[in-house]
Amino acid sequence: MSDCDNSRGMNDSRYDGLFEPIQIGPVTARNRFYQVPHCNGLGHVFPKAEAAMRGIKAEGGWGVVSTQEVDIHPSTDVSPYIEGRLWDEKDMHRLALTVDAIHEHNSLAAIEITHNGHEATNRQSRLPLMAVSEMIPGANLDPVQAYKMTREDIANFRCWHRRAAIRARDIGFDIVYVYAAHSLSLLAHFLSRKFNNRTDEYGGSLENRVRLLREVLDDTHDAVGDRCGIALRLAVREFLGQDSLSEDEGRDVVEMLADLPDIWDVNISGWMHDSKSSRFSNEGDQESYIAFVKQITGKPVVGVGRFTSPETMVDQIRRGVLDMIGAARPSIADPFLPEKIRQGRLEDIRECIGCNICVSGDMTVSPIRCTQNPTMGEEYRKDWHPEQIAPKSSEDSILVIGAGPAGIEATMSLGKRGYRVVLAEASRHAGGRVVRESRLPGLSEWRRVVDYRLGQIQRMRNVEMYFESKLNKEQVLELADELKFQHILCATGSTWHAGGIGRTHRTPLDLDESVTSVTPDQIMDGQNISGSALVFDDDHYYMGGVIAEKLASCGCQVTLVTPEANVSAWTQNTLEQTFIEKRLHDLDVRLIEKHALISLRDQQAIIQHVVSQEQRTLLIHNLILVTAREPSQQLYFSLKDDPEAIQERGIHSVTRIGDCLAPSTIAAAVYAGHLYARNFDEPVNIDEVPYRREYTEI
């Protein structure tokens, strides 16, 4: 197998502090890199895939590797979401796969056992929801209410938690969590006045609200503390509105429990605040909330902050902010981040871009994916390794046309396999849509997708790159005569549709020329817009909202119209929707949901309510259509339509991938490029399932 050059820099002394061992109760982590619990859409349904993914993290140097949340009882069923499960001994063998995969590489295995209280759904178990207080759950719109736990229920919960901790120990886990964060766990609900209105010994004062957490910590220590480290995951501040856990109360909780856990895993709540995208947060942005913890406790502290810079990591430890560098998203983008830092191979790190596409896997009940790391979630299914790829199996060479995310990923990965690759790009720079979109507000870190791949390609002698080389069929055939390549890969991307075709309209809109009508491509190319502007967003991901933000920031009076009930509706899956909507409100963007643009005449835009069909008229000067994208596939079809010319030149295949085939996310384009490179020169049977499947036991 070909892999990255591991011979360079076996140790970089600048980062020695990150590789010192640290004691966590009765166990010792080999270094300061801690993959904190994170969801992945694999869990108990795909246990082999879960184990392979976590095992890769351990191989990549993470001293502690954690599961996602693991439900401990049928009363905390979160169906349809796919998390871990430890309801009884029948679940133990699935989790043992993960433990074994982590231990194979000398890392500690941590398990986050939890009960979700009113955040559960119980759609599968059909048990009534139980909660700290009587309430209507806010996590979903199921027509149910949760009942208030009695003292007997509390005693049962403690018993279930203790039993799960013992099972976790017997499976072989080294660290067992007590989970009180993200407003997703029952223990967090007891802490928060927002949810806890009890009048018994578990409600009222903070001391009473902490009581159950203290009891569960004691229970867990008593049950497994001689063998396992006990981690307390605590949100030291909630951003959940009135009566949520305040900064002062968070500090008081830490003071009350200072030395009870063996390690503190601290963050902020809810999940969308803890895992903000790069559009709304910077690296290390939680420091101001969690820095006090290490000043109170004598136990190790781990925290997160989408850390990508080794200097920032070392600085956090040197200044006494953290003892261990926690990461979820950076460990997804590059499972080998610790090992690359140790070897001083910083240029080989795939830095997280903070797009949160990884989160969307959990939210859409599907396996995890990553924009930077196309092998994420495919470790078992396709036997893909993030640092290893099979060497070439022929002397064939490839012409890649288009240096967008699909093209440069294919070029890089084919180059790593040892193939000769010629990359031709029409513009002056590589990157395609990534570079253009990275100039939009808040998306600058997305440029890392291009920077990493270009950095790798530029070190390859078997790859040639040509820019300002817009090719037509005749030029491609001339190149084939000259350069003698056997395969053509079209990765020519797509353009935004100028006629408004999209989800709502299957034919072009009725638009006159009374206003300036532009697409996102023209905005990204620098076209100036002044006066009033209507953004019609029928795409529902980030583009409509970010275009509206850009125009409003430049002084335009912006109205955003969308057929959906929320602005940028799909970004609920990336935890961004609330932040996007608030930013647009702050910029005085007028938001009109559940309406579609119907026509435009004499600067009068007719919009129609998607349910009532009632129409309204808006006076506008500029129209920006964020609807569908058109694949740029003319070159592909012109080549495919001339098979004789292709055959005469010894060309074996002409293929299209990425947005040129089916416009989608940047992550999908990168994946398409990687898939092409992995499968190149391999026989493909279209009648076979293209990955290894896991089957439910019968």
Q: What is the mean pLDDT of the chain?
A: 95
Domain boundary among 629, 645, 669: 629
Q: Which residues lie below 8 Å from residue 509, measured CB to CB, with a gap of 6+? A: 499, 500, 597, 598, 599, 600, 625
Same domain, 550 and 660: no
CA–CA distance, 45 with 380 (Å, rounded to integer): 13
Judged against a pLDDT cut of 80, whether residue 696 lies above it is answered with no
Same domain, 251 and 350: yes
pLDDT digits (tens, 9 = 90+) for 545-555: 999 999 999 99
Instruction: Please check whether residue 584 lies inside any domain of the structure.
Output: yes
CA–CA distance, 366 with 358 (Å, rounded to integer): 10
CATH number of the domain encompassing residue 540:
3.50.50.60
Same domain, 622 and 657: no
Portion of the chain with pLDDT greater than 70, in percent: 98
Band (6; pLDDT cuts 50, 70, 90): very low
Structural domain harbouring 651: 390-493+632-679
pTM metric for this prediction? 0.95
Instruction: Please check whether residue 374 lies inside any domain of the structure.
Output: no
Instruction: Please check whether residue 385 lies inside any domain of the structure.
Output: no
Q: Looking at the DSSP assignment, which residues form a beta bridge with residue 112?
A: 69
Average pLDDT over residues 390-416: 97
Instruction: Please check whether residue 11 lies inside any domain of the structure.
Output: no
CATH number of the domain encompassing residue 90:
3.20.20.70
Judged against a pLDDT cut of 70, whether residue 698 lies above it is answered with no
Q: What is the pLDDT of residue 400?
A: 98
Same domain, 425 and 464: yes
Same domain, 129 and 207: yes
Q: What is the pLDDT of residue 4?
A: 45
pLDDT digits (tens, 9 = 90+) for 607-620: 999 999 999 999 99
Same domain, 320 and 340: yes
Average pLDDT over residues 653-673: 98
Catalytic residue list: 39, 179, 182, 274
In the chain, DSSP finds a helix count (H) and a strand count (E) of 23, 31
- Looking at residue 135, the DSSP 8-state letter turns out to be B
Same domain, 452 and 312: no
Instruction: Please check whether residue 383 lies inside any domain of the structure.
Output: no
CATH number of the domain encompassing residue 396:
3.40.50.720
Same domain, 431 and 514: no
Same domain, 473 and 517: no
Q: Looking at the DSSP assignment, which residues form a beta bridge with residue 266?
A: 234, 303
Band (283; pLDDT cuts 50, 70, 90): very high
Residue type, 566: N
pLDDT digits (tens, 9 = 90+) for 435-489: 999 999 999 999 999 999 999 999 999 999 999 999 999 999 999 999 999 999 9
Same domain, 111 and 233: yes
Domain total in the chain: 3
Instruction: Please check whether residue 442 lies inside any domain of the structure.
Output: yes
The most distant pair of C-alpha atoms in the chain lies apart, rounded to whole Å, by 86
Instruction: Please check whether residue 58 lies inside any domain of the structure.
Output: yes
Helix or strand holding residue 317 (H, E)? helix 310-318
**CB of 99 closer than 8 Å to CB of 171:** yes
pLDDT digits (tens, 9 = 90+) for 217-245: 999 999 999 999 999 999 999 888 888 88
CA–CA distance, 665 with 644 (Å, rounded to integer): 35
Instruction: Please check whether residue 479 lies inside any domain of the structure.
Output: yes
Q: What is the pLDDT of residue 224?
A: 98
Same domain, 131 and 223: yes
Same domain, 341 and 397: no
